[in-house]
Amino acid sequence: MTIGEFAGGPVRESVRAAMTPSVAPATDNRPGGSDSGERLLLPVPDEDGAPFWEYAARGELRIQACDGCGALRFPPRPCCPHCQSFAARWQRMSGRGRIWSYVLPHPPLLPAYAALPGYNAIVVELAEAPRIRLVGNLVTAADAPLNSVDPARLRIGAPVKAAFHTLPEGMTVPRWLLERP
C-alpha cells in the first residue's frame, strides 16, 4: 500500500514536495565568486526565525526567550518547550561564546565549497546560554573568505565573538572571530 492509497488519494507527491528542503543558492563573498557561477547556500528564514535574521541585519545577536518562564530557545519556535507558553521576546546576547565543536569538510559536498579548501564549520556555545549553540564559520574578519583561518588554529573551547557579514544577496549572517587572535 502506498501513501496515496492509505490516505485515499494522490498525496505521495505532495508529501514528497513538503519534505524537500528549499534552499536558496547564494554567491559567496570571494572576488569573482558571483561571476564564476559558483553558489554557496543561504539560510532560508521561516516565520518563527525571521526576527533572528532581522536583528542580524542590524548587527545584533538575539535569541528567542519565553515570556512565560524566561527560558532561551534556539532554533526559534512558536511554543516554549519548558512551559508551553506562546509568548516570546527576543533577548540580546553579548555575541561571545566558545567553540563547542568544529569540522573541516573533506571533500566538500557542493562545487562552490570545493573552491574554498580548508574552510571550517563551527558550533558555538553562547557565553550567557551554554545550552544554546549556533553553527557558523570562524573567519579572520566579518567579510573575510570562509577559509581565512588556518585550520590548525581551531580549538575546542576557544573563545569567539560574533561578527556580521552582509552577503551580496542582501542577507546578513553571523560569523565568528577568535577573541584572542
Q: Is 64 exposed, middle or buried (0-12, 13-18, 19+ CB in 10 A)?
A: buried
Per-residue pLDDT of the chain (181 residues; tens, 9 = 90+): 444 443 444 444 443 344 334 333 344 444 444 434 467 888 999 999 999 999 999 999 999 999 999 999 999 999 999 999 999 999 999 999 999 999 998 877 788 888 888 899 999 999 999 999 999 999 999 999 999 999 999 999 999 999 999 998 899 999 999 998 6
Spatial contact of 146 and 116, defined as CB atoms under 8 Å apart: yes
* Ramachandran category for residue 81: left, alpha or beta (phi over 0 → left; psi -120 to 50 → alpha): alpha
